[in-house]
Structures are given as C-alpha cells and as structure tokens.
Structure 1
C-alpha cells in the first residue's frame, strides 16, 4: 500500500511556500529568508502542517537560527544523526530545560515541593548515564516486552469493551481519552511495579510536566502547572524515600544501584530517573497510539485489513513513527565550536534536532510524503533518537501501538472518524505533537 500523506498539501496561509520550496537549490533560494521569517514553531500553521516548513528548512537552511526561540533548527537526517551519535561534542545537558522561562511564582511553588531534577537520563552527559540507562533498559527489554504482549492485549480489550459500550449508549466515543492515553499508562505501571496512584493522576501530572517544560504557557498557567508538577515530584519523593517499593520494581532496582565510584544512588537522582521514565514511558506512547489510530481511520480501506493482515499494524506504526512521531524534536548544546551542515556554530549553541523532519528527508526515504507500511528502510528514522541516548522504551512503544491498532480494528470494526474531525485539537509543544482527540462514531 502506497498512499499520499494527508499533510502533503502546502500551507493554506502561505500558499507560496510549496512553490518556493520546489525551486530551492540552497540557502540563496529566492524568497526563502522571507518565508523562514514567518516560521513559528508554536504557531498553528507549523503544528497542523509542519512538513512544508520542514521541507523548506532542509532545502534552504538545514542548520537555521530561529530568532523566535534562539535555537538552531537542524533538519537533515545526516546532520541530526551526526549530532545524536556524538554526545561529547553535542551534549544532552539542555534536553529537559524549560523552554519558557519560569516566573518567580512558579519557581516558588516548585521549591516548596523540593523539586529538582539532577542529570539522570535524557539530560545526563556524565559517566553515571550508562549504568542508569541499563537499569531502566532491563525493565523495557525486548524479552520483557514480548512477554508482556498478552497483558497489553488484555488491558486493550478491557478499555475497548468500555469504549464499545460508550459508542452504543452515546453514539460517539473519544478513543484518545478512553483508550490511547490509558493503555500505555496501565501497562507501564504493571511493568515497573508502580502503585499508590491512579492512572488518571499519573496522566494528569505528566501532561502538566510536558506543558510546563516544553510549552509556551502564560505566567498564570505556569503557576497552575507547577502545582501539579510539584504534586508529582512529592509523590515520587515519598515513594522513592519510603523504601517500601518491591525489590523487583524499578524503584527497588534504583535503590540497589551503585554509581561508577561504588557509592549508592542518591534519592534525588533516583527521583529524576523516575520522573523522566514515568512521563516518557507512557504519555508519548499514548500520543503515538492516538496518531496511529487517527491516520489508520483516515486511510481508505486500511481499518478492516489491519485487524487481521499479518505485519500491517507493525508496518503502519513504523511509518507513523517516521512521518509523524510524537517526539518531533530534541535538544542538544555544543560543547565547543563546531561546523555542522556547513554552518560554524559557537560553543554553547542550543540545537533543536528535527526528528520528524529527518524522517521525511528525501535523501534517505523515497517519496517521503507517502505512507508505505512496508517501506524497506523505514527503521532508519530517528523517532527514538540514536546512539547512547536512544530511547530504551522503543520496543515497548512499538508493541503497544501495534497491539492498540490491531485490537481496536478488531473490537470496533464499524467505526469511522466522526463528522467534523478533519482538524482535531492538536498538542503543539516544542518537542511533542499529537491529536488530542480521536472522536469516532459507528457507521
């Protein structure tokens, strides 16, 4: 199956973008500086139809200093991959820094909660990173994920049964809120031995953390989000420091972990590990599932096939990861002056790696705007990063999304996207993008 991507059309607000892009030989392309001056990575144009902008960046300015954020946007596959594979020169230290400066009132809220996130996983460039990553990776290994598939299918079945009841009673159902969000949260809690809180609470805390650190909220909203993030941190601190976690749980493993010098892991770093894993391990997978479901429902003829055709759910998931990953960008900072993509960067340059843009680079992927579930080189995308900081939860995210799609197509064979759902509300943070609603109705 080879089909045009739904977002292959040019931006409605800037219809000249596609025609300008088509003739761009390089950074001197006529009109390119003017068009890039209109780019707003938080704007509705970019959030809803990012690919024309990413195409323009790759063709005209593959390493581009965005005046709106002060970040260097890196959009070509080869440049993004080079950065990810060289953490000594392109350090991960800024990966979890707040995108929007926090006001004093929000900082006070976090301080009262004892909030601090020392380097642990995504933002850790020290020699403690390999060991900490290994602890987490053991819980998310391919072997453990394969063994967990029956449990994933069971939980999916329970959630879809409730969704079917809601469809029967109300005529419509939101598969994002009732299914896509909840499935990975429950699975992660089982895998990591998390208890003491409800899935809905963990989702609410995680959403708040993403918005606070990767969004552009107003000052008053930042204070409200900080309250929720503080609650999350307090719960994590109580859980880690209580020493009551089961020995076979992630928290139990962290309490036994020793740093390279032989000293035990300090509680704050253990909390930081959990903070990142509990967010990244479920909220981004929920976003992936939402996109996978939505794109499958919009694809003519795919929904009935994906229920039973071997490998189709996995192939569709992989193409969504390539074309519309939930983690669209990631940050790095240069440790020294360096040349990248023909641009001389100073030490301390803040980089924004366009993981989504790299997945549609025509130098790597033929006809990148087409969804091809059996594309031979599809796993060359960088949706999970690369190198020593590659996402340890990749196998789990792939498995959950494929199971979710196949299970939903089997349990709800007659559903379709509800009328008026052509443009659902979208999550549009600096590094995260997904539909916030997948409203379906029975045919």
Structure 2
C-alpha cells in the first residue's frame, strides 16, 4: 500500500534495553514511555518493532492476514554452528503447528488440542490439581514448620503444572524435574540471549527433549490421549498428520503446560504472600484466588510479548511498516494501558473489565490452555495459603531474581518463612 513514512519518535534517553537487568526487574517505566511517546517503535537492539498500546496490539492479533504468526517461535539469538549441529544430530525440527501456523491445517489441529483443554476437561482436572498441590505442600510443611526457608517457586510452582500434566496425560518413565528442565531449556535457547557455550548446553537438552517427544509420538498406542489423537488426525487433504508436526504440537503444548503456567503461579504467589491482607483473603474468601490470578494476568503475565511479521506494507498508529517487518507485541504493557484499565498500577481483584486483558492473546491463535492455566494458578494459590497461613517473604524488601527472556518473565525465587505473629 502507498503511504508516507512516519518515523517513530525516539524514546526518552536512559531507558534500558529489553534484556537489560533494569528492564527485567521493572519494565513498567519503559512500557509506559513506549505507549505515550512511541507506541510503534523500532528497537535497533533487537531489530523488532515494539507495539505497546492495547488497541494496536489487539488489532494486530485480530488481523492474521496482515500480521502473520510465522516468526512466533524463531530463535531470538542466532544459534552457533556447534549448537545447530547438536540439534541436527537429534533430528530437531519444528514445522508450523500451532502458534506459528497460518496454514489450512491450523484450525483442525487447534480443534483437536482444544478437546483436551475445554471447560469440561478442566473442571474434571481440579481434583488432580488439588491432590498434587496438597502432596507437594505436605512435603514442604515439616521444613517450613521447623523455621526453615522454603522456595515456593523452585519447590512448588515450577513442578506443580508438570506433575499435573503427567497425571492427566499418563506420562511415565521420566521425572517431572527432567521434563521441567527440558522445557525451561527450550525457552532459554529460543527466547533468551545466552552466550555460545550456554547455547550449546541448552541445545543438548532441547535435542534430548525432542528425541523423547518423537519416541512418545512414534510409540503412541492409547487412542484417547493427546498423542493418540494426533496420530489419528488427518490433514485437510485427508493424509495422516506427519510425525514431525505431531511432535511440534507436543513441543508447544508441553512447554506452555509446564513452564508458562509455573511462571504464572510463581508471580501469583509472590504478589499475594507479600501482602498479609491478600494472603489472608485468599485463604478465607471463596473466589478471591481466581480474582487475584486474573489481576496478575492483566498486570504481570508470564508471556510478556509475542511476535508477528507483516505480510505486506501497512500502517499502524500512523507509522509505516514495510513488508516483512518483525513486530513485538508488548502484551504485558497492554494490561497497564490507562485508556483501558483504570488505576492500572494497582492490583484490584474483581475490577469490572478484568477479562479484557490480552495475557492469552486474541483471535485465532489465542492460548488454548488459558482455562487450565487460570485454574491451576488459583488452586495452587489457595492451597498454599491454606497450608501456610502464617507465611511471609523471607526478605520482603529484596527484589527476587527474575527470568528475563524476550517473551517470558517471572520470579525465579519466592522464598518464604513462618511469621508466628500472624
């Protein structure tokens, strides 16, 4: 399309880059500056166009013809030859499947996977989530009661979704810790900026993960499970789904079902236990845990950004974008957009328009596991508040270390101790 190019205004000086520790620790000043000063801003540090206003992000997500998902799972950092060789030896391949698929087969794959995450299945899974959470907290309780510090991120939030998924899908022969490590390694390799030596180590883990998934898909015999459903699935032209695409579906679903849900639980716990009144309300009030999780999703979601690429020249908020422009949708920033949410800096459970947030995206690629993630986080929070009613942060004034990948952010530690005075 013909258009007169409008160059974005420069950001105020002194704001950190997307991978810089100050941004990872507190991204809100930068997100606010982007929204107010340069809502469609080219970032030379990443080569991405940062789209930060709610209305713009939503319009991009709802226009898959102009803004393609092709780059959603591309590696942020160029992989060295040594890492590529490791992946090649493992047979690693991720053909378009879900998040990065704009083909005719996407809708059918999405419907298949959605059968395992619909409202009925999620409701049926609640006892499994509750039982798993109770078992994990019971294991922590003796150390906690003795006055020891307990890390609810590492010892609870990170592994709970993995254990639940393993029980729901009947996965055996591998530990939850191993699956979680593979999932975390995948996110760091493709969405982080690790040095070359670290990339090689991560590639080895990702390659092993992919080989394990391939073996699971190839050996699937149960007809009623997710993997069995993928093996029976037919593409629009009637041919069986190939193994590589089935593995790609599992790769995405397993990571989303583990790492990102664990990240949501970690943030939910951190923000709740930091406020004694909130922690008490979680334990005492029906429905408060769900409302708290929803506010965390609005304000501090685990998936902070997502990518799109322009199919052709277009214009967004008065800024000309060439064909092939790589966009980074600042999902986290949209939840603090004052044009949509009143008093956005304050966590306010039960706010009227809370479900309007974009933490799970929008449109045809909206997160398939949104309902399960919400449910797991609320159950995990409520179970922790009931099992540890006198918990407080071990170092309430300290900023915990944060996971700081391009599209994922969460506390790596939520260290708590007993507060006998409560």
Tell me the TM-score normalised to structure 1 length: 0.91
Structure 1 residue 301: Cα displacement: 1.0
Determine if contact 2:8/2:42 at 8 Å carries over to the other structure: no
Determine if contact 2:8/2:41 at 8 Å carries over to the other structure: no
Alignment match of 1:68 (pick from 45, 55, 69): 45
Alignment match of 1:82 (pick from 36, 50, 59): 59
Structure 1 residue 419: Cα displacement: 2.3
Task: Summarize deviations over 1:116-170 as a string: whole Å, max 9, x none.
Answer: 0000000101111111111111101111101111111111100011111221346
| Cα pair distance change 1:440/1:46, threshold 3 Å | same
Task: Summarize deviations over 1:78-129 as a string: whole Å, max 9, x none.
Answer: 0000111111110000000000000000000000000000000001011111
Does 2:183 match 1:206? yes
Q: Paired residue for 1:108?
A: 85
Task: Summarize deviations over 1:292-332 as a string: whole Å, max 9, x none.
Answer: 00000112411111112021101100000000000000000
Does 2:382 match 1:390? no
User: Which residues of structure 1 form unaligned runs of 5+?
Assistant: 1-25
Q: How does 1:294-313 map to 2 (within 5 A)?
A: 294-313=270-289
Determine if contact 1:139/1:192 at 8 Å carries over to the other structure: no
Alignment match of 2:16 (pick from 39, 42, 54): 39
Structure 1 residue 270: Cα displacement: 0.2
Alignment match of 2:169 (pick from 192, 203, 220): 192
Alignment match of 1:150 (pick from 118, 122, 127): 127
Q: Paired residue for 2:266?
A: 290
Determine if contact 2:268/2:381 at 8 Å carries over to the other structure: yes
Secondary structure of the residue that 1:333 maps to in structure 2?
strand
User: Which residues of structure 2 form unaligned runs of 5+?
Assistant: 1-6
Q: Paired residue for 2:207?
A: 230
Distance of 1:199 and 1:418 partners within structure 2: 27
Secondary structure of the residue that 2:224 maps to in structure 1?
coil
Query: What is the RMSD of the two structures over their aligned residues, measured on CA atoms?
Result: 1.3
Distance of 1:141 and 1:243 partners within structure 2: 22
Task: Summarize deviations over 1:386-420 as a string: whole Å, max 9, x none.
Answer: 00000010000000000111110001001110026
Structure 1 residue 77: Cα displacement: 0.4
Q: How does 1:165-184 map to 2 (within 5 A)?
A: 165-169=142-146, 171-184=148-161
Q: How does 1:277-356 map to 2 (within 5 A)?
A: 277-356=253-332
Structure 1 residue 248: Cα displacement: 1.4
Secondary structure of the residue that 1:188 maps to in structure 2?
helix
Query: How many residues were matched structurally?
Result: 413
Structure 1 residue 193: Cα displacement: 3.1
Secondary structure of the residue that 2:413 maps to in structure 1?
coil
Structure 1 residue 192: Cα displacement: 2.8
Runs of 4+ in 1 over 6 A off after TM superposition: none
Does 2:221 match 1:251? no
Q: Paired residue for 1:10?
A: none
Q: Paired residue for 2:4?
A: none
Does 2:388 match 1:412? yes
Distance of 2:29 and 2:258 partners within structure 1: 29
Determine if contact 2:147/2:417 at 8 Å carries over to the other structure: no
Q: Paired residue for 1:242?
A: 219
Secondary structure of the residue that 2:73 maps to in structure 1?
coil
